[in-house]
């Protein structure tokens, strides 16, 4: 008999096809009452396939007493209750590394866009405003100071991209990284006060909730730009909106938001912010690699009891 696997939320069609072919996979989203279904049938499943968007909380794990593994499509796992999983002896995997390049590309795309006003100047042309006069001068990127908040897998690739722009790099983590030569800032506020561009690449979760506070934005200052490809919860969003509206910082490039897909409407009319719908890993190549790794983790666990990329 095929292993019984529960799928929470929609995934790539090709990935869902494989799940149905290789496993006895059931789509929770198809149930009119998911809670009632879990109460009745939750004990039938030994593995859960979810994503960084949908996650899995303690209540869901409690409703699945035979659950042994959660395989998540995505690098972030702040939507999965890791403490509850550990307490219940449930192994958790994510999909690190395969999305580093595309996320770093978007970070630099946002950085260049907001600094040079690319999206805003596109709107300027489309409105016919070029016929009335020249577009205002913008900010140079090359040779500037780049602060990276979170020098993990993605942060390191962002730093690598920065070398192509002759940028000076510094970083802040909870702990120093031993195998890099970039100078370390002792706090987020210290990093922000130094940087021309502050890129947020840290993990989400309770430990980083509103780490970029109003004081950090004040330290970044009216000439500084903020880029976020991490999680919306890492930034005090209300403080960020206030800083952008009142030009306390120069601008921001945002791929993530605190309550996405809801985005603060106060940002819609601003030309000093670029807004993306959480698409940093959104390429055919990267999403396929994420699907392949999620499936590989599932296969490995069901055959050996181990995961290829366990969440530590």
E strand or H helix at 170, and its extent?
strand 168-172
- Considering only CA atoms, which of 96, 89, 78 is closest in space to residue 305? 89
Catalytic one among 156, 170, 172, 278? 278
Q: What is the DSSP letter of 137?
A: P
Angstrom distance (rounded) from CA 144 to CA 73: 35
Strand partners, 168: 145
Instruction: Determine the straight-line distance between the first and last CA of the chain, rounded to whole angstroms.
Output: 31
Angstrom distance (rounded) from CA 151 to CA 171: 6
Is 172 among the residues known to form the active site?
no
Is 231 among the residues known to form the active site?
yes
252 Rama sector, left if φ>0, alpha if ψ -120 to 50, beta otherwise: beta
Angstrom distance (rounded) from CA 117 to CA 298: 44
Give yes or no for a contact between 106 and 124, defined as CB atoms under 8 angstroms apart: no
Is 156 among the residues known to form the active site?
no
Print burial letters for 84-95: b (CB count within 10 Å at least 16), e (below 16): bbeeeebbbbbb
Residue 285 in tokens: 């190549």
Angstrom distance (rounded) from CA 12 to CA 269: 33
Catalytic one among 156, 170, 231, 287? 231
Residue 300 in tokens: 């490995």
Catalytic one among 31, 168, 260, 300? 260
Strands 225-228 and 251-254: parallel
Which sequence positions are flagged as catalytic? 231, 260, 278
């Amino acid at each position: 008999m095929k292993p019984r696997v529960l799928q929470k939320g929609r995934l790539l069609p090709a990935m869902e096809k494989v799940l149905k072919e290789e496993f006895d996979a059931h789509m929770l989203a198809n149930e009119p009452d998911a809670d009632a279904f879990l109460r009745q049938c939750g004990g039938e499943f030994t593995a859960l396939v979810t994503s960084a968007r949908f996650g899995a909380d303690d209540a869901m794990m409690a409703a699945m007493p035979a659950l042994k593994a959660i395989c998540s499509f995505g690098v972030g796992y702040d939507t999965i209750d890791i403490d509850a999983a550990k307490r219940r002896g449930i192994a958790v995997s994510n999909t690190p590394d395969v999305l580093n390049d595309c996320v770093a590309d978007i970070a630099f795309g946002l950085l260049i866009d907001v600094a040079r006003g690319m999206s805003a100047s596109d709107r300027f042309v489309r409105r016919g405003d070029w016929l009335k006069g020249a577009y205002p001068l913008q900010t140079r990127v090359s040779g500037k100071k780049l602060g990276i908040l979170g020098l993990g897998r993605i942060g390191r690739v962002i730093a690598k991209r920065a070398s192509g722009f002759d940028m000076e790099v510094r970083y802040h983590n909870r702990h120093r990284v031993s195998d890099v030569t970039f100078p370390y800032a002792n706090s987020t506020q210290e990093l922000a006060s130094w940087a021309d561009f502050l890129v947020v690449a840290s993990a989400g979760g309770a430990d980083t909730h509103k780490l970029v506070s109003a004081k950090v934005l004040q330290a970044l200052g009216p000439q500084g730009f903020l880029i976020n490809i991490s999680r919306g919860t890492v930034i005090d969003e209300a403080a960020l909106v206030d800083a952008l509206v009142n030009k306390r910082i120069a601008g921001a490039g945002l791929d993530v938001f605190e309550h996405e897909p809801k985005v603060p409407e106060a940002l819609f009319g601003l030309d000093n912010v670029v807004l993306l719908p959480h698409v940093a890993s959104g390429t055919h190549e990267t999403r396929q690699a994420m699907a392949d790794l999620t499936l590989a983790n599932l296969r490995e666990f069901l055959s050996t009891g181990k995961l290829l990329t366990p969440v530590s």
